[in-house]
């Protein structure tokens, strides 16, 4: 039963990033975790979104052993699992090649916070990973991609900065639930687009003042939030 | 009755900026004022547009006291009210994070008038506010955002320049009615896009000649206008 | 009867530029001429496209006297008429504020021919007018806009370069028929977009070799053309 | 029968590039080959896509002699045939003027591999042809365009780099089947867009590390592939 709800939410997260234009063909993948059971539901690899049903999702444990499902899981499964193991507060992970976020990842630049749209969702710049050494690419590549993200985060709080750019690759996003992760992927793309145009208009744009960054982040998150119908 | 018409027009203004692609998720808000009654109708905070009904709008007086409505008003209410109090000729206010206008706001650059599309609607550059001092951000932030706009306008006529860029944030637009404010928000985004591409093509593009700016603004506005079916 | 066909083709030309995304709100206007009768059909000023019917078009003679129609004609009528008087081979005129072409016009740069897409339609760069002197703006502005275009063309063949950028304003396009003019307006926007991105990639991109420019233009136009079903 | 299937797949390839927004009006063309019969099916020249039926496709032999069909074939037929003769492993060819790929072609810059999206499909930069000498443009232009592509490829494997930019013109793509060629045309446009934005963000972005490029290409292609349900 709980697994049924997880399947449906993970499917919905996969479809949300398609609807928002973040996905071309079968690019991208979303997953979710049932923490109590230690089970993860993830998109199968290379299946067209329009044909995907909840039963097509692949269920694995946190070590990647397939528990349910006849299809091969997304080839990025090991990255998702590494994130779930390292970040206990997250409930969903979304990976896309969305246009503007991927362009920042390819340019290997973190996305500075230039405005309140960014500050509303990310409590700091969106970081970019260090390049991976050749041996980490040659074997266990997807697992090591997860490790590169975790190393980059260090002491950062993944729930306050729910996205990362993998250098030369594309973004990974996460959230408290699969839908929350998909929402953050959509917002990240918007923020990446605004920042792209901001640096085009003025290469030396300064980052948002810290006090304004805090004001916006905290009016939407945490105990003093006053945005929405909370 | 008059309040009913106001509700419908404010809802329509909110929906117009969605239809025109200026809004992502629940970003943005539109309001309108019934000057005789001193009552303002504004979008509730964080409610999806597709479910919004006239009855969901929140009615407040000019001091922000809720007169009708069970939902929490937009968190930017205090900015809207400050504009209504300072600019007696306006009947509607619209705030969006539209892509190009927000990029100019983030770059903290006013939008120069480079062409007649701009001149048809704005009788001068679209100004950008000064950064707000920390104490204005830490308390009464939304009210002080309104004050920053009003300070920036000084002797400018808000009906001849019906938009502003809040530095590091996004645009606020207004007009004689809520729909007029929404219309100006759409035009501002178009003008911001054209200006973005113009400076990309030629960083040193000169502003439109004053005589041509006047010609275009005045053939659409004021007693000598000859555009439309008058 | 012939006038009926003209009305329908002019309406269709107006709608084509809307369908292709070249028009915001009521911006832009298309007209056509019945050369034998010396009559021009043009879009009325400020009427929404979705409500426009053939009977709403305004019929004038070549001096701008209204022959049929109860609505005010487009405020750019005098520009259209000047072009019909000066360029006897043309049968339709279209004016838009399409995004990329307008950005080149605002930057006051001609569009160089960088590729065969341009060469297929325009047998040379798309020219930009000289700035108009103040007295030409202050009175008979729309007529003088036409004169600025005609001066700029000088010995150029308007049927081989069926478009111009009015400096600080936007493009005017034309063709053998109203639909041909609309088609050229769509192509101009595409060519302006490609050229914008080309100069962004490489500021010093050279123009297409003359021999290749000729090859592409002449395989689509004139007696030796071999494109299409001829 | 086999020819019937080829017609349908070629029509579908033509429609796929339209659906994906790579085509304006009647620009672009797709073809496919039945290797056993030595017959090629190609789009007719200048026919609107919405009216195209399998029977409208033109069937020729590898020398361009029309075997079936009453319409004139695409004017680029000779380029397609040259590619089929030189690259025996390919089964389909697609030519478009898609926006970003064409901008790179106009700037006469190869598309470097900046990220894994590119590496997933192209095992090296997307090359650009040398300018053609005047005599190759003046006669047998389309055939010589094919020769310019083949010269540029030299020892490159066309199935590992299934696309080229013709300098000053636009891309040609190919694949094992017509649909595969269309798919590669869509991916090329995406990769060209990402690369355009990457160089805008950072002119000196380095190419993807070779080891990462290999990893991504080889996890999708060849005997060790583990992407999809293969």
For residue C23, the tally of other CB atoms under 10 A from its CB is 21
CA A67, A72, A77 angle in degrees (round to 5)? Answer: 75
Bridge partners of residue B104, in order along the sequence = none
Min mean pLDDT across A10-14, A22-26, A118-122, C224-228 is at C224-228
Question: How distant is the Cα of C179 from the closest Cα of chain B, in angstroms?
Answer: 24
C173 in Cβ contact with C162 (< 8 Å)? yes
- The pairing of strands B163-165 and A92-95 is unpaired
pLDDT at res. C224: 85
The encoded tokens of residue A110 equal 């973190």
pLDDT at res. A1: 52
Cα–Cα distance between A194 and B33 in angstroms, integer?
Answer: 31
Which class for C152: exposed (0-12), middle (13-18), buried (19 or more C-beta within 10 A)? Answer: middle
The answer to the question of residue A124 being in a domain is: yes
The answer to the question of residue B229 being in a domain is: no
- Catalytic residue from among D61, D140, D157, D227: D227
Residue of chain D with shortest Cα separation from A47 = D228
The encoded tokens of residue B44 equal 């509730």
For residue C155, the tally of other CB atoms under 10 A from its CB is 4
Contact B211 C138 (CB under 8 A): yes
pLDDT at res. C1: 52
Stretches where chain C sits below pLDDT 50 are none
Q: Does C193 touch chain B (CB under 8 A)?
A: no
Cα–Cα distance between D227 and A2 in angstroms, integer?
Answer: 29
Contact C134 B226 (CB under 8 A): no
Top residue of C17, C113, C116 to mutate, by most chain D CBs within 10 Å, is C116
Contact B99 A202 (CB under 8 A): no
Q: Report pLDDT digits (tens) over D130-183.
A: 999 999 999 999 999 999 999 999 999 999 999 999 999 999 999 999 999 999
Bridge partners of residue C14, in order along the sequence = none
Q: C129: helix, coil or strand?
A: coil
Q: Report pLDDT digits (tens) over B101-159.
A: 999 999 999 999 999 999 999 999 999 999 999 999 999 999 999 999 999 999 999 99
E strand map for chain C: 29-34, 39-42, 58-61, 66-68, 92-95, 163-165, 171-175
C167 in Cβ contact with C130 (< 8 Å)? yes
Task: Please name the residues in contact with A140: beta carbons below 8 A apart, sequence gap of 6 or more.
Answer: A78
Residue B1 has pLDDT above 60, yes or no: no
Cα–Cα distance between B41 and B163 in angstroms, integer?
Answer: 20
- Residue located via tokens 């349900």: D229
Per CB-CB distance under 8 Å, the chain C contacts of B116 are: 168-170
Question: Which one, of D150, D35, D42, D38, lies nearest residue D95 by Cα?
Answer: D42
Q: Report pLDDT digits (tens) over D98-130.
A: 999 999 999 999 999 999 999 999 999 999 999
Alpha carbon B39 to its chain's center: 19
Question: How distant is the Cα of D221 from the closest Cα of chain A, in angstroms?
Answer: 13
Question: Which one, of D84, D102, D101, D85, lies nearest residue D93 by Cα?
Answer: D84
Cα–Cα distance between B218 and B116 in angstroms, integer?
Answer: 11
Burial state string for B62-100 with b = 16 or more CB within 10 A and e = fewer than 16: eebeeeebebbbbbbbbbbbbbbeebeebbbbbbbbbbb
Cα–Cα distance between B103 and B167 in angstroms, integer?
Answer: 10
Cα–Cα distance between B163 and B168 in angstroms, integer?
Answer: 15
pLDDT at res. B150: 98
Instruction: Closest CB to D99: pick one of C194, C202, C215.
Output: C194
Residue B177 belongs to what domain range? Answer: 3-218
The enclosing domain of A75 has a CATH number of: 3.40.225.10
pLDDT at res. D224: 84
pLDDT at res. B55: 95
The answer to the question of residue D224 being in a domain is: no
The answer to the question of residue B36 being in a domain is: yes
Task: Please name the residues in contact with B21: beta carbons below 8 A apart, sequence gap of 6 or more.
Answer: none
Cα–Cα distance between C129 and C147 in angstroms, integer?
Answer: 10
Cα–Cα distance between A30 and A90 in angstroms, integer?
Answer: 13
Contact A117 B105 (CB under 8 A): no
pLDDT at res. C46: 87
Burial state string for A56-69 with b = 16 or more CB within 10 A and e = fewer than 16: ebbbbeeebeeeeb
Q: Does B134 touch chain C (CB under 8 A)?
A: no
Q: How confident is the model at residue A161 (pLDDT cuts 50, 70, 90)?
A: very high
Active site residue D56: no
CB-defined contacts A:B, below 8 A: 84
Cα–Cα distance between C113 and C100 in angstroms, integer?
Answer: 15
The span from the first CA to the last CA of chain A, in angstroms, equals: 28
For residue D206, the tally of other CB atoms under 10 A from its CB is 12
Cα–Cα distance between B192 and B100 in angstroms, integer?
Answer: 5
Q: Report pLDDT digits (tens) over A18-33.
A: 999 999 999 999 999 9
Residue of chain C with shortest Cα separation from B189 = C24
Q: D208: helix, coil or strand?
A: coil
- Provide the Cα torsion C30, C36, C38, C39; round to 10°: -50
Count of all residues that appear for chain D in the document: 230
The three-state DSSP-derived secondary structure of chain A is CHHHHHHHHHHHHHHHHHHCCCCCCCCCEEEEEECCCCEEEECECCCCHHHCCHHHCEEEECCCCEEECCCCECCCHHHHHHHHHHCCCCCEEEECCCHHHHHHHHHCCCECCCCHHHHCCCCCCECECCCCCHHHHHCCHHHHHHHHHHHHHCCCCCCCCCEEECCCCCEEEEECCHHHHHHHHHHHHHHHHHHHHHHHHCCCCCCCCHHHHHHHHHHHCCCCCCCCCC
Cα–Cα distance between A18 and D4 in angstroms, integer?
Answer: 34
Cα–Cα distance between B58 and B32 in angstroms, integer?
Answer: 11
Q: With residue B6 as reference, give the H or E element that holds it.
A: helix B2-19
Cα–Cα distance between B57 and B72 in angstroms, integer?
Answer: 9
Cα–Cα distance between C115 and D103 in angstroms, integer?
Answer: 9
pLDDT at res. A228: 79
Cα–Cα distance between D26 and D54 in angstroms, integer?
Answer: 16
Bridge partners of residue C30, in order along the sequence = C94
- The pairing of strands C39-42 and C58-61 is antiparallel
Which class for A207: exposed (0-12), middle (13-18), buried (19 or more C-beta within 10 A)? Answer: middle
Per CB-CB distance under 8 Å, the chain D contacts of A134 are: 209, 211
> Between residues 55 and 114 of chain C, which touch chain B (CB distance below 8 Å)?
71-72, 75, 97, 99-100, 102-109
- Catalytic residue from among D49, D56, D120, D141: D120
Contact B228 C99 (CB under 8 A): no
Bridge partners of residue B165, in order along the sequence = B128, B171
Q: B128: helix, coil or strand?
A: strand
Residue A122 has pLDDT above 70, yes or no: yes
Q: Does D196 touch chain C (CB under 8 A)?
A: yes
Min mean pLDDT across A219-223, C26-30, D212-216 is at A219-223
The encoded tokens of residue C137 equal 């703006």
φ, ψ for residue D59, nearest 5 deg: -105, 125
What's the whole-number mean pLDDT along residues B168-175?
A: 98
D177 in Cβ contact with D91 (< 8 Å)? yes
Q: Does B154 touch chain C (CB under 8 A)?
A: no
Question: How distant is the Cα of B91 from the closest Cα of chain A, in angstroms?
Answer: 25
Q: Does B133 touch chain A (CB under 8 A)?
A: no
Q: With residue B195 as reference, give the H or E element that holds it.
A: helix B178-201
Question: How distant is the Cα of C66 from the closest Cα of chain B, in angstroms?
Answer: 15
CB-defined contacts C:D, below 8 A: 84
- Residue located via tokens 């111009």: C164
A178 in Cβ contact with A30 (< 8 Å)? yes
- Catalytic residue from among B61, B140, B157, B227: B227
For residue A225, the tally of other CB atoms under 10 A from its CB is 13
- Catalytic residue from among A140, A157, A214, A227: A227
C93 in Cβ contact with C173 (< 8 Å)? yes
Supply the mean pLDDT for chain B. 96
Q: Report pLDDT digits (tens) over B33-71.
A: 999 999 999 999 989 999 999 999 999 999 999 999 999
Number of domains in chain B: 1
pLDDT at res. A132: 97
Cα–Cα distance between B196 and B200 in angstroms, integer?
Answer: 6
The answer to the question of residue B223 being in a domain is: no
Among positive and negative, which fits the CA dihedral A10, A11, A17, A19? negative
Per CB-CB distance under 8 Å, the chain D contacts of A26 are: 228
Q: Does D215 touch chain A (CB under 8 A)?
A: yes
Per CB-CB distance under 8 Å, the chain D contacts of A170 are: 115-117
- The pairing of strands D171-175 and D163-165 is antiparallel
Active site residue C36: no
Cα–Cα distance between B219 and A88 in angstroms, integer?
Answer: 63
Question: Which one, of D98, D80, D61, D63, lies nearest residue D147 by Cα?
Answer: D80
The encoded tokens of residue D12 equal 């579908």
């Amino acid at each position: 039963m709980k697994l049924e709800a997880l399947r449906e939410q993970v499917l919905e997260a996969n479809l949300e990033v398609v609807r928002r234009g973040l996905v071309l063909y079968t690019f991208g993948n979303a997953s979710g975790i049932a923490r109590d059971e230690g089970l993860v539901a993830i998109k199968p690899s290379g299946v067209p979104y329009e044909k995907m049903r909840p039963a097509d999702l692949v269920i694995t444990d946190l070590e990647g052993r397939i528990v349910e499902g006849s299809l091969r899981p997304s080839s990025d499964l090991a990255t998702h699992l590494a994130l779930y193991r390292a970040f206990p507060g997250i409930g969903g992970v979304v990976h896309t090649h969305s246009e503007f976020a991927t362009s920042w990842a390819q340019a290997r630049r973190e996305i500075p916070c230039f405005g309140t749209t960014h500050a509303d969702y990310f409590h700091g710049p969106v970081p970019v990973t260090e390049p991976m050494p050749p041996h980490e690419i040659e074997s266990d590549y997807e697992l090591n991609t997860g490790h590169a993200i975790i190393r980059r985060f260090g002491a950062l709080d993944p729930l306050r900065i729910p996205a990362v750019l993998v250098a030369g690759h594309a973004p990974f996003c996460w959230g408290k639930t699969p839908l929350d992760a998909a929402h953050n992927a959509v917002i990240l793309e918007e923020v990446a687009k605004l920042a792209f145009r901001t640096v085009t208009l003025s290469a030396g744009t300064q980052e948002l003042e810290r006090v304004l960054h805090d004001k916006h982040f905290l009016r939407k998150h945490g105990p003093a939030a006053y945005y929405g119908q909370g």
